[in-house]
Structure 1
Amino acid sequence: MNYQEYDRPKVHFTPKKNWMNDPNGLVYFEGEYHLFFQYNPSSNNHDNMNWGHAVSKDLYHWEELDTAIKPDELGTIFSGSAVVDKNNTSGLFESGSGGIVAIFTHDGASQQQSIAYSEDNGRTFIKYDGNPVIPNTEIVDFRDPKVFWHEDSEKWVMSLACGDHIQFFNSPNLIDWTYLSSFGKEYRSHIGVWECPDLLYLPVEGSHEKKWVLIISINDDGPNGGSAMYYFTGSFDGQSFQPDQSPEDDLKWVDEGKDFYAAVSWDNTDEKYWIGWMNNWQYAESVPVSPWRSAMSLVRRISIIEKDGSFLLKQTPVTNDNGKLEKEEDIHVTPESKAVYNIESPSELNIQVQKDVSDVWGVDFITDKEELLRLEVDPVNDQYILHRDTGRTGFSNDFPEKIKGSLNGFDGSQVTAVADTSSVELFFDNGVTVSTNLFYPEGVISRFEIWSKAEKLQVEALSFRTLHSIWN
């Protein structure tokens, strides 16, 4: 049966077969959330890029549709975005009532930006006769246009990845584009090429303030090696982005895990949601799954919080609440006595421990074949460590046994974990710190154990539930 293979994730989108990478063209239109993605319809390798397509009504269950945009004489179809042209600013829609416009990179002899439009809810696209709308420059890596409508300037604004920096453009009609400014050459981390930018205007929780946030993906030099994402907060006046951070400041990582990349946000939604590619370019073509390759993360709602004058990204996973919720309170754990619970896979787990923990504590996820995925939380040293040294690990030397990350000055006392067939997504302190990691066991997770290394630990609240498959 489709989507029912033993190894296939149950709550993370995967294509029926073949290669997938970056999410593209995320847009909400006529009651549907569209997820387009980099897709090779003919093999399980990164080649022959098309836009695959799936839709959802709740950001959890997905239906895969036919390939949406295919290569042509200008090249294959690399990453990009989609918008709802509500007022038909492009003049492309015969009805005059607007529709979906996709903005993407043509990858041929060079990289150029092109558009296509759909008058049937994204099922088919008509490429614009005048493509490319932003022709080739001398920049080799010139790609991944992310577009939104900027209310103050009454123009469409594009963020474009240009190797070691971001360029901004605007347009009144999605066809005629004007260069505005550049950002980023003076900032750190240029070992990997900059990719998949997103410029967002996000609410600051607990206030009436909003902040501009510029998201960058880098395909090397992440905190645990390889692909990763970081962000800048700041201001945007319709012309240029001014960051809060100086070039000397530490980078703010979106997700310090090993396997979250190229996340971009949905257009035309009230709250901001995004999704990322759950893989790493160091071993993406080697992960031991078939007949598909790669999965998407869970969808996450994103916002900003303020702590000590700094603005931090917050991510909250979108899950299904139909599963039976098990709850307990005031659980006492000692080095000699773990709290042990049986559970089915996939599952969502929420733990709240006491605020003044001065010891290492953690959670073990254990499969029915006694394979161990261990999370250590060390608030004293402001870090967590995820051990993934069992299961299938030999497919790449870049698939590390330990993943380390900072708790960003929080105490790590609240943890949400979503464990699927081959991954775990960790959200610390209500989503201020996030870590996404693949895990390839031979068995399936059947229990979890909460433990403390040297001191008594009070678990103030615990809840967990089995999650329903997104394919049901």
Structure 2
Amino acid sequence: MSAPTTTTTELRDDFRPAFHYAAQDTWLNDPNGLIFHDGLYHLYYQNNPLNSVWGNMSWGHATSTDLLNWTEHPVAIRFDEHEDIFSGSIVFDRHNTSGFGTAEQPPLVALYTSAYKLASALHGTQAQSLAYSLDGGYSWRKHAQNPVLTRNTPNFRDPKVFWYQGQNESYWVMVTVEALEYRVLLHKSADLLNWTELSSFGPANATGGIWECPDLFAMPVDGDPENLKWVLTVNLNPGGPNNGSAGQYFVGDFDGTTFVSHSTVTEGMGDGTREHDYQWLDWGRDYYAAVSFSDAPDDRRLMIGWMNNWDYANQIPTAPWRSPMSLARELTLRTVDGQPRLIQQVAFGSGAEPEPVSTFTLPAREIPEGTEVLDGAAGTVQRIEFSLAPDSAGEAGVVVRGNGTEGTRIGIDAQRGMLFVDRRESGATDFHESFASLDVAPLRSLDGSYELVIHVDRCSVEVFAQAGLLTMTQLVFPSAASRELSLFAAGGTATINNLTVTTYA
């Protein structure tokens, strides 16, 4: 990855988020090893324990009881002279199939990619390795016979492992990628140590960048446990819908051997002409490497992504830390236009809704052409919920974190049928030439209206549109004094059907 550059933007710690996890004083990227175990959500992640830019890849570690408040722990699995510790996953080996624990004390097993260095006989290759923990995930021992799965190739990585419960046979399944081939590989094992290849999937849909960080899981459609579909997610860099890092998903069937997609677009595949027909996890520039938790309570499918973009990841103006995670999201499958689509909502643990400092509501009324500051609705950390009808306006929406000269515009382009996030005047943008952007996503109205929920934190906005059918995640770096919330309409008038602002800071 590129080295940091000097800009005129001052590095600041007041961008530290209130509700998004960020390391105390180091770099982080991909979430790894997400698991709920012994009453705690464990978030491991790619971490440089020595600096606030990418390098020395290790697994950092944080825990939470509620997905809202996180406690950082010492580095879990550290790089050494032979390998960097790239992305992977953790499973609870409750039946001790690996033999690393006992029946009374089964282990947690981490499966990660060894990125071998010059000091290793395997240098230049990537392979899958194991580490195990007998104390609930706080200390880890590498398996003496690593790696457990290799193809002797340089870009074979990112194992996500789960237990497949078949009608006639049950076993562990590992989902990996050959990143430059745009292929997802499936292997099986009885003991997490010996692996047999099952099948592969891809190339398919977006192939504008390398494939990374896959995931595969079953979900009921419309809440019906008798109608299960499998969802395969795969992240790619670059090649996202707004020229950034991104994640896409496929819905289909998995029989224990082969995943068959029912949502692959064949015409124009990979040439960039059909990106609006692909299914994206997020349409923003700053949601990448998203993977889901193992063993989440009540069989919830919870996912976290890295909230940054490889174009400018090393340069964002935060200190002494760099890069936050997204809020946790709960995923469900809902039938939309006859097809199952992922729905995403912000997820906190039971009873974990943060305590607000104020609430502002606005009844239905017209939004005149221009920009109107809402007195009593200012804040830096907020949840903004509203329904809007564009009426005669060409564009309408809200400006968050504004001060009269800067702000992030979030709204609807009615003529084009688009949601947009405009951060060109959002605050600090000069740290990288590609950061200032106007990003869009196709969005249809519901009976002429658009429902948006916007989660604003000190350096980000996460937009959930039409009850979570579409999301956009963007970093922003406003001045500390930019606290205003405004309504705007351009080219005519619009109607705000309702608006509620919950302010936390």
TM tier relative to shorter chain: over 0.9
2:473 match: 436
Deviations 1:125-147 (CA, angstroms, capped at 9, x unpaired): 11112211102x24321000001
2:215 match: 198
Tell me how far apart the structure 1 counterparts of residues 439 and 481 of structure 2 sit (CA, whole Å): 21
Mapped contact 1:146–1:159 kept (Cα < 8 A): yes
1:251 match: 278
2:307 match: 278
Q: 1:401 aligns with which of 431, 434, 437?
A: 437
Task: For 1:335, give the aligned amino acid.
Answer: E
287-296 vs 4-13, greater mean Cα deviation: 4-13
CA 336–69 in structure 1, closer or farther in 2 if over 3 Å, else same: closer
Deviations 1:388-444 (CA, angstroms, capped at 9, x unpaired): 112211111221321111116766610000111111110101111100001112234
Task: For 1:280, give the aligned amino acid.
Answer: N
Counterpart of 1:292 in 2: which secondary structure? coil
Residue 379 of structure 2 corresponds to residue 362 of structure 1: no
Q: Per-residue deviation at 1:277? A: 0.3
CA 35–27 in structure 1, closer or farther in 2 if over 3 Å, else same: same
Task: For 2:237, give the aligned amino acid.
Answer: N
Q: Per-residue deviation at 1:357? A: 7.8
Q: 1:264 aligns with which of 282, 288, 291?
A: 291
Deviations 1:251-278 (CA, angstroms, capped at 9, x unpaired): 2111110100001000001201010000
Q: Per-residue deviation at 1:223? A: 1.2
2:337 match: 308
Tell me how far apart the structure 1 counterparts of residues 44 and 64 of structure 2 sit (CA, whole Å): 11
208-217 vs 111-120, greater mean Cα deviation: 208-217
Give aligned-pair identity as a percent. 35
Q: Per-residue deviation at 1:246? A: 3.4
Alignment of 1:167-178 (within 5 A): 167-178=185-196
1:459 match: 496
Tell me how far apart the structure 1 counterparts of residues 153 and 106 of structure 2 sit (CA, whole Å): 33
1:27 match: 35
Counterpart of 1:179 in 2: which secondary structure? strand
Residue 319 of structure 2 corresponds to residue 290 of structure 1: yes
1:221 match: 239
Q: 1:239 aligns with which of 246, 257, 270?
A: 257
Mapped contact 2:367–2:495 kept (Cα < 8 A): yes
Q: 1:65 aligns with which of 54, 60, 73?
A: 73
Tell me how far apart the structure 2 counterparts of residues 116 and 445 of structure 1 sit (CA, whole Å): 46
Mapped contact 2:105–2:134 kept (Cα < 8 A): no
1:326 match: 360
Q: How many residues in Structure 1 have an aligned counterpart in Structure 2?
A: 463
Mapped contact 1:412–1:428 kept (Cα < 8 A): no
Task: For 2:209, give the aligned amino acid.
Answer: G
Task: For 2:452, give the aligned amino acid.
Answer: V
Tell me how far apart the structure 1 counterparts of residues 255 and 99 of structure 2 sit (CA, whole Å): 27
Tell me how far apart the structure 2 counterparts of residues 183 and 412 of structure 1 sit (CA, whole Å): 39
Tell me how far apart the structure 2 counterparts of residues 272 and 456 of structure 1 sit (CA, whole Å): 40
Q: Per-residue deviation at 1:288? A: 1.2
Q: Per-residue deviation at 1:311? A: 1.8
Residue 54 of structure 2 corresponds to residue 38 of structure 1: no
Q: Per-residue deviation at 1:87? A: 1.6
Deviations 1:135-176 (CA, angstroms, capped at 9, x unpaired): 2x2432100000111112411111101122100011111111
Tell me how far apart the structure 2 counterparts of residues 399 and 245 of structure 1 sit (CA, whole Å): 32
Task: For 1:306, give the aligned amino acid.
Answer: T
Q: Per-residue deviation at 1:247? A: 4.1
Q: Per-residue deviation at 1:336? A: 5.6
Counterpart of 2:374 in 1: which secondary structure? strand
Residue 392 of structure 2 corresponds to residue 392 of structure 1: no
2:140 match: 125
457-466 vs 429-438, greater mean Cα deviation: 457-466
Mapped contact 1:142–1:161 kept (Cα < 8 A): yes
Q: Per-residue deviation at 1:325? A: 3.5
CA 302–449 in structure 1, closer or farther in 2 if over 3 Å, else same: same
Tell me how far apart the structure 2 counterparts of residues 261 and 329 of structure 1 sit (CA, whole Å): 37
Counterpart of 1:430 in 2: which secondary structure? helix
Q: 1:182 aligns with which of 200, 215, 221?
A: 200
Counterpart of 1:81 in 2: which secondary structure? strand
Q: Per-residue deviation at 1:447? A: 1.9
CA 138–382 in structure 1, closer or farther in 2 if over 3 Å, else same: farther
2:273 match: none
Mapped contact 1:232–1:252 kept (Cα < 8 A): yes
Q: Per-residue deviation at 1:451? A: 2.4
Tell me how far apart the structure 2 counterparts of residues 425 and 207 of structure 1 sit (CA, whole Å): 29
Deviations 1:210-232 (CA, angstroms, capped at 9, x unpaired): 32111011111111113111111
Mapped contact 1:159–1:198 kept (Cα < 8 A): yes
Mapped contact 2:13–2:320 kept (Cα < 8 A): no
Mapped contact 1:345–1:444 kept (Cα < 8 A): no
Task: For 1:322, give the aligned amino acid.
Answer: E
Tell me how far apart the structure 2 counterparts of residues 52 and 90 of structure 1 sit (CA, whole Å): 24
Task: For 1:399, give the aligned amino acid.
Answer: F
Mapped contact 2:371–2:486 kept (Cα < 8 A): no
24-33 vs 322-331, greater mean Cα deviation: 322-331
Mapped contact 1:369–1:443 kept (Cα < 8 A): no
Mapped contact 1:377–1:412 kept (Cα < 8 A): no
Q: Per-residue deviation at 1:102? A: 0.7
CA 289–451 in structure 1, closer or farther in 2 if over 3 Å, else same: same
Q: 1:116 aligns with which of 131, 140, 148?
A: 131
Q: Per-residue deviation at 1:198? A: 0.5
TM-score (norm 2): 0.87
**Can you give the 5+ residue segments of structure 2 that lack an aligned partner in the other structure?**
1-11, 117-122, 268-276
Deviations 1:326-367 (CA, angstroms, capped at 9, x unpaired): 333323322267462432211111002349787421111143
Counterpart of 2:467 in 1: which secondary structure? helix
389-398 vs 17-26, greater mean Cα deviation: 389-398
Tell me how far apart the structure 2 counterparts of residues 369 and 356 of structure 1 sit (CA, whole Å): 25
Task: For 1:360, give the aligned amino acid.
Answer: E
Instruction: Please tell me the root mean square deviation across aligned C-alpha atoms, in Å.
Output: 2.1
Task: For 1:311, give the aligned amino acid.
Answer: P
62-71 vs 302-311, greater mean Cα deviation: 302-311
Alignment of 1:338-357 (within 5 A): 338=372, 340-341=374-375, 342-354=377-389
358-367 vs 389-398, greater mean Cα deviation: 358-367
CA 42–115 in structure 1, closer or farther in 2 if over 3 Å, else same: same
Counterpart of 1:296 in 2: which secondary structure? coil
Deviations 1:75-134 (CA, angstroms, capped at 9, x unpaired): 110000011111212121135442311110011011110111111111101111221110
